[in-house]
Structure 1
Amino acid sequence: MRIPVILLNHNSAIDCRKCVSFLQRQKGVDIEIVVVDNCSSKNDLNELQTLCKEELCTLIENKENHGYNAGNNIGLRYAVKKGYKYALIANPDMEFPEPDYIARVISKMEVDKNIVVCGTDIIDAKGRHQNPLDYVSFWSELFWPIDMIRYKLSGKPLATTLNYTNSRYCPIVSGCCLFVRMSFIKQIGFFDENVFLYCEEPILAHQVKTAGMKLYYMAEAQAVHRHIKFQKGNPYGRMVLLCNSRDYKNKYHSDFNRLQVTLLLISSRLRKWFIKLKL
């Protein structure tokens, strides 16, 4: 079976080259590496063009950056046209040390037709596990100052990662690396492009739940997320973007009632005001 691997690049050509080198070592499955460039700088795009020519990757150049979901949809629509049954979506900073990683996940999805989104064990550079994930509760979103105080005191953000030792159906999987069944992607009309960044995972999870299908966490396969956090651009603008994505998710892709959504919207506006004062 031939599987497309969609890498969404934005000024990350160096990471892309490393990720492609891992993907080229995959065994037991035929892959097509599809690199979607989300309007990178000229220099980064030139490096990407060289990489794709050398490694025989398919390069799709996007002239406008409309966000994470919109960029990945370009790759997914390409996969639909090619008639693919599954697709792997991965960030360029992912590494795949296990040579049968893709083959094993696809084998599981072939057996269980209820699985439309599948994630595996993912560790960061420090060995911390990033899958599977849980929903952020209504109370946690509403009383965000409490979590902020906890973070200041402990230095650790509120954990939403669940037990990673057992394979099972789960609420959410990380968007940095996930497998999708293309028939389901077509059914929901591709990823929701109304968010530019943030909250893509809970939105997709709610779409799966609404469709009566399943997300699955596979503990037996592991990938590495070499993500390095750093601040990009205006921090206030990024936090406002996060709040706006949460507002959209809470209104259109959650089980919250109208009163809860209204209260969360008020809380979100207070958060924006507070962040602006801090910055």
Structure 2
Amino acid sequence: MSAVAVVIVSYRSEVAAVAAARSVAFEPDVVSVTIVDNSASERRHEEFILDDLSDRVVVVRPDQNLGYAGGNNLGLRAAMTSGHEFVLVLNPDVDLPTGTVRALVEELANSEAHVVSPALAEAPNGRETVLRRPGFDLLLGRGVLEAPFGRRFTPTFFGAAFLARSRSFEQFGLLDEQLFLYCEEIEFVERLTRQGEREVFLVAEDIVVRHGRGGTVSPGGYDTGARSTIAYEEASRSVVVFGKTYHPFRLWVWVFARLAMAAGLIIRNPRAARAVLRGVTRGLVSRSVRPDRP
């Protein structure tokens, strides 16, 4: 059996995080499960009720919200220090059927890829859709869960659930903490591709896990379809930071696309419009450095 360390970053998602941990904690390949509580500094009253998971799951409480990349990196460093061969990164809103971890390990072990992610089954409005081709739209500067084929879209893996080789992070660096939320996976693919890696990732289309929409993105639940102001702001900021770092000639097209989005939101959702503008502004004034450079 392979040694797999699991990292779950939770933000106001105590119940969901424990459920995600339970879906993998008893798998034979899993040797550790770490929940990083990014809302610990808010002194919430909710608890991680572990019960029979208490000897299998560790909850880490940083003194501030580290974001998606920073929270996962906390767990990734621990896995690398312990010498575990693989790391499985999970969002709290992902449910893995029994045997998924072993299937992902076999997929990755039989390839030259650094990362493998499963396909995601989502059920907005009760109708299940299986997503298998995530990507990034180079024209408009936005991530898409099901990217059409063509040069306009850069393929990537699903950041909500993926298995990676620990040595890949040792060799190429961890997730980019300049990106507080969103674009982490496309940045990782871009970084490794520019360093000459030909097979950075694969999506195992026959391995399907269920994915909801966490409270950070959609506070009212998946079926409401309403995104949070955090999602609008951080997505806009991350796109601008990613553009400044890797695609400076496309950056202003992406900025214009975000401004057009804000204009379209002014009437029906003024708070979201303001969030987009804040994100674009914060991205433009931030200092962006490629993680593989000093």
With the shorter chain as reference, the TM-score category is 0.7 to 0.9
CA 1:162 to 1:234, structure 2 compared with 1: closer, same or farther past 3 Å?
closer
Work out the CA distance in 2 between the residues paired with 1:226 and 1:207: 28
CA 1:230 to 1:259, structure 2 compared with 1: closer, same or farther past 3 Å?
closer
Aligned twin of 1:56: 56
> What is the CA-CA distance between 1:275 and the residue it aligns to?
4.2
Q: Which amino acid aligns with 2:203?
A: Y
Aligned twin of 2:284: none
- Of Structure 1 and Structure 2, which has the larger fraction of its residues in helix? 1
> What is the CA-CA distance between 1:263 and the residue it aligns to?
3.2
Q: How many residues align?
A: 249
3-state DSSP of counterpart to 1:183: helix
- Higher-RCO chain (CA-CA 8 Å, sequence separation at least 6): 1
> What is the CA-CA distance between 1:89 and the residue it aligns to?
0.2
> What is the CA-CA distance between 1:162 and the residue it aligns to?
4.7
Aligned twin of 2:276: none
Aligned twin of 1:161: 146
String of CA shifts for 1:109-154, please: whole Å, max 9, x gaps: 2222x2101111210244212333122131x34xx9xxxxxxxxxx
CA 1:274 to 1:159, structure 2 compared with 1: closer, same or farther past 3 Å?
closer
Could you tell me whether the CA contact under 8 Å between 2:25 and 2:57 is conserved in 1?
Answer: no
Runs of 4+ in 1 over 6 A off after TM superposition: none
3-state DSSP of counterpart to 1:4: strand
Alignment of 1:80-229 (within 5 A): 80-97=80-97, 99-112=98-111, 114-125=112-123, 126-138=127-139, 140-141=140-141, 160-162=145-147, 171-211=155-195, 212=197, 213-227=199-213
CA 1:159 to 1:183, structure 2 compared with 1: closer, same or farther past 3 Å?
closer
Give unmatched runs, 5+ long, in structure 1.
145-157, 164-169
Work out the CA distance in 2 between the residues paired with 1:183 and 1:24: 23
Task: Give me the CA root mean square deviation.
Answer: 2.9
> What is the CA-CA distance between 1:246 and the residue it aligns to?
0.7
User: TM-score, length-normalised on structure 2?
Assistant: 0.74
Could you tell me whether the CA contact under 8 Å between 1:236 and 1:276 is conserved in 2?
Answer: no
Work out the CA distance in 1 between the residues paired with 2:183 and 2:167: 23
Aligned twin of 1:4: 5
3-state DSSP of counterpart to 1:122: strand
Q: Which amino acid aligns with 1:42?
A: R
3-state DSSP of counterpart to 1:220: strand
Aligned twin of 1:149: none
Aligned twin of 1:42: 44
Aligned twin of 1:75: 75
Give unmatched runs, 5+ long, in structure 2.
149-153, 221-225, 271-294
Q: Which amino acid aligns with 2:244?
A: K
Work out the CA distance in 2 between the residues paired with 1:100 and 1:237: 34
Work out the CA distance in 2 between the residues paired with 1:216 and 1:234: 28
Aligned twin of 1:230: 218
Work out the CA distance in 2 between the residues paired with 1:264 and 1:61: 36
- Identity level (%): 16
Work out the CA distance in 2 between the residues paired with 1:197 and 1:181: 22
Could you tell me whether the CA contact under 8 Å between 1:9 and 1:36 is conserved in 2?
Answer: yes
Q: Which amino acid aligns with 2:146?
A: T
User: TM-score, length-normalised on structure 1?
Assistant: 0.78
> What is the CA-CA distance between 1:7 and the residue it aligns to?
0.8
Work out the CA distance in 2 between the residues paired with 1:123 and 1:238: 21
String of CA shifts for 1:154-198, please: whole Å, max 9, x gaps: xxxx964158xxxxxx92111110111111112232110112112
